[in-house]
Structure 1
């Protein structure tokens, strides 16, 4: 699970400052305030991990990648190539990482890792690594810090205050460029007698970034027929295009889920159908083969108890729009992080509120009796979603520490992120100005307009 993020000189973010990521993190803010670019950077980091090119420090994307950020200049704050791109990401381990120094009795153990990286444009205006810093965390404190950086002679060096790295005899060669933005190369590690643990740091980074899944704000239109030949998609896709395939794959493999401890278990398709019913969108939901032995399927729904069963294409747009968000929240593997953009699009205000219950449940759900430990990071514009979330905190359904809420705004062309303090009563103690628009100004203007209209009507009546 991701625990923290910091971004500097990326798009609108000059310096986001390090902010906490909770099991359920919600980011509000106006359009073009900079919310989405935080997720875009995480996707760029993930596609760099997936890239076969180890010498590319940061894969900014193309038409076949998760995201295409354009050129480095387009990514940098104010498009200034002199600015270094910096970011820091922290995450917890499902268990603990433990290792010992083979040359001394020293042992190290941590329950999380923090990676900080600095990249600078090279002569070809491509990203080049200037610094990689790892901190092995035990609780909130680092127990081992390692820094790999370019020195004043433009050569790489590695330093640590807690761990003495010893050179291999006869291998006094200079250290190599790192692999990507996070990995000290095998050749560089081989020049030390006791640097093998650095490969564990790199593997943990890959696991953390590979666990990120993204659902964008625009979703595919519903189809009359869906094809599925037995594959298991990694996720529902950025547009939710694999939602039905995910339902079929999870159900055929007998995945059993419940909404939390001591709640009833259900097969995946039944679990999703029950949530759709509880959201008040439909009465029943099913995915059925068109005919026996075929790989074509249709999604059939009933809007009311007494209504006929129809295809998903014949009902309101909201069902097909909320389905990917619902499926992704429970389909992703254990220990995943899901970044969702505007899951409330096309939904009635009441359903927007109910969606908060879905996401709270997703962070508490169990699969086959084990905690799923799923994290959701949600970009939203919905006041109804927030109101329900505050209510559930007040009712004790979710702990304040398990929720993080932020307000994103622009100030002088620079994005800023304000953490909102949520207390045990579900109250936001530092409500931002114009959080959901200037409601009081609208009420005041409406009242004044009504008064003026009454005055005008009386004056017209007196004249007559």
Structure 2
């Protein structure tokens, strides 16, 4: 699970500092930098997936298209550095051992892993110039010997004097110079060659990659429904950025006989029944199923009933909002437990009642399926349902982090919202979700004025 995100000088952000929880909601005005927060995380995943180890940031790929580093860096100022830090709360404790110690002593152990990196612009491209990982009381840092230099040194730093210190031991022979970081998160292969006890560095990198592999994304623009779907019996990793693989995911889970339940020790339901349950809870349909057109055809149709007694129709023949929220429901039920799901505008094309029901789906996935959700939203109804459930103690305040983004002078700022035990937001920002009370009051005053004029 992502515990925190920090970065500097990316797009409209001079600095962003985000502490995350099971549910992290990002709200704000248009063009306030909300999407850039998500883009930075996707940039990290895209860089991890890139095949070119010499590229420190993969700016253009399947997840994000950012142009050149001049386009991506704050105020297009290539003299600035991009610093970032990610912290993860691991599902299991990570243990590092010193192979040079005869007893293979554990030098660090914990379930919070942090990575920090600095990237400068060199030859019009981002280049990693500093890298460190922290676990328990130790930080392992690769940095230039002199400021701006090309020769690097590897050091271990302890934050606790009470624990045994650790230092890297050079392999006997010629003293070779270390190059800089690989991509933005990897130690060079030479580090493990030049030092006798640096093999565990690969464990740190591998754990970071695993965390990014468990990060899934669904964008705001989703594919329209089709009258039928071809399924080649494959199992997708997710539903696709536009939800284009949602039906494939449903079929794969159905074929595997997967079941889900709504809460601990409740009845296990077939996967498709769980999808239908949430569509019904949102007031969108009465029933839902995906069925093969003809046995052996491998062509499938999504069919729904909108109400009790209604005829079954194709997904294409009902309201557009159903097909737009279907990937959201499917993704939250489909991904492995312990995953992090990023949702942009999950409420798009939904009426207010369904937006409120969407909040309950998110709460269920976060508290019961142990899925972390990071969402960017404009929905007042989703937020109000979250606040209500906090008041009802369906979710704890420490499991919800809410933020408001704004860019009053072109530079984005992030305001953590203070949510109390009863779901109240103590520091409600001005023009956060519009001003419904004043709108109603102004309308009623105008009605009174018009009645007086009409009575004369």
Residues 171 and 191 of structure 1 are in contact (CA less than 8 Å); yes or no, is this contact kept in structure 2? no
Give the corresponding residue for 1:79: 76
Indicate whether 1:410 and 2:413 are aligned.
no
Indicate whether 1:426 and 2:423 are aligned.
yes
Give the corresponding residue for 2:398: 401
Indicate whether 1:47 and 2:50 are aligned.
no
Q: Which runs of 4+ in 1 moved over 6 A?
A: none
Residues 23 and 363 of structure 1 are in contact (CA less than 8 Å); yes or no, is this contact kept in structure 2? yes
CA distance in 1, matches of 2:199, 2:338: 25
1:154 alignment partner, SS class: coil
Indicate whether 1:387 and 2:381 are aligned.
no
Provide, for residues 278-311 of structure 1, a one-character-per-residue CA deviation record: whole Å limited to 9, x for no partner: 2211000010000011110001100011110000
Indicate whether 1:149 and 2:126 are aligned.
no
Provide, for residues 172-201 of structure 1, a one-character-per-residue CA deviation record: whole Å limited to 9, x for no partner: 111023211000022222111111111111
Give the corresponding residue for 1:369: none
Indicate whether 1:4 and 2:4 are aligned.
yes
1:330 alignment partner, SS class: helix
TM superposition shift of 1:202 = 0.4
CA distance in 2, matches of 1:106, 1:172: 27
Aligned residues: 444
Give the corresponding residue for 2:243: 240
Match for residue 449 of structure 1 among 438, 446, 449 = 446
TM superposition shift of 1:325 = 0.5
Evaluate the alpha carbon distance shift between residue 171 and residue 353 of structure 1 in structure 2; reply closer, same or farther with a 3 A threshold.
farther
Match for residue 313 of structure 1 among 316, 326, 329 = 316
Give the corresponding residue for 1:333: 336
Indicate whether 1:96 and 2:90 are aligned.
no
Provide, for residues 43-102 of structure 1, a one-character-per-residue CA deviation record: whole Å limited to 9, x for no partner: 11111111111111110014xx22211111111110111111121111111111112223
CA distance in 2, matches of 1:309, 1:352: 24
TM superposition shift of 1:455 = 4.0
Give the corresponding residue for 2:224: 221
CA distance in 2, matches of 1:345, 1:106: 50
CA distance in 2, matches of 1:67, 1:303: 37
Give the corresponding residue for 2:117: 117
| Structure 2: stretches of 5+ with no match in the other structure | 159-165
Give the corresponding residue for 1:107: 107
CA distance in 1, matches of 2:213, 2:36: 18
Provide, for residues 367-411 of structure 1, a one-character-per-residue CA deviation record: whole Å limited to 9, x for no partner: xxxxx4211101111111111111111111111111111111113
Residues 259 and 364 of structure 1 are in contact (CA less than 8 Å); yes or no, is this contact kept in structure 2? no
CA distance in 2, matches of 1:452, 1:272: 51
TM superposition shift of 1:209 = 1.1
TM superposition shift of 1:106 = 5.5
Residues 145 and 160 of structure 1 are in contact (CA less than 8 Å); yes or no, is this contact kept in structure 2? yes
CA distance in 2, matches of 1:444, 1:296: 55
Give the corresponding residue for 2:59: 60
Give the corresponding residue for 2:434: 437
Give the corresponding residue for 1:133: 132
Give the corresponding residue for 1:368: none
Further displaced range: 263-272 or 75-84: 263-272
Provide, for residues 100-144 of structure 1, a one-character-per-residue CA deviation record: whole Å limited to 9, x for no partner: 223344531111111111111112x1110111121114xxxxx11
Provide, for residues 138-159 of structure 1, a one-character-per-residue CA deviation record: whole Å limited to 9, x for no partner: xxxxx11122122323321222
CA root-mean-square deviation = 1.4
Give the corresponding residue for 2:301: 298
| TM-score normalised to structure 2 length | 0.94
CA distance in 2, matches of 1:402, 1:197: 33
CA distance in 2, matches of 1:145, 1:451: 68
Residues 95 and 106 of structure 2 are in contact (CA less than 8 Å); yes or no, is this contact kept in structure 1? no
TM superposition shift of 1:444 = 4.3
Residues 255 and 267 of structure 1 are in contact (CA less than 8 Å); yes or no, is this contact kept in structure 2? yes
| TM-score normalised to structure 1 length | 0.93
Give the corresponding residue for 2:156: 160
Residues 191 and 198 of structure 2 are in contact (CA less than 8 Å); yes or no, is this contact kept in structure 1? no
Indicate whether 1:348 and 2:356 are aligned.
no
Residues 142 and 180 of structure 2 are in contact (CA less than 8 Å); yes or no, is this contact kept in structure 1? no
Give the corresponding residue for 2:180: 177
Give the corresponding residue for 2:163: none
Evaluate the alpha carbon distance shift between residue 318 and residue 106 of structure 1 in structure 2; reply closer, same or farther with a 3 A threshold.
closer
Further displaced range: 322-331 or 147-156: 147-156
Residues 129 and 181 of structure 2 are in contact (CA less than 8 Å); yes or no, is this contact kept in structure 1? no
Give the corresponding residue for 1:23: 22
CA distance in 1, matches of 2:130, 2:4: 19
TM superposition shift of 1:438 = 3.2
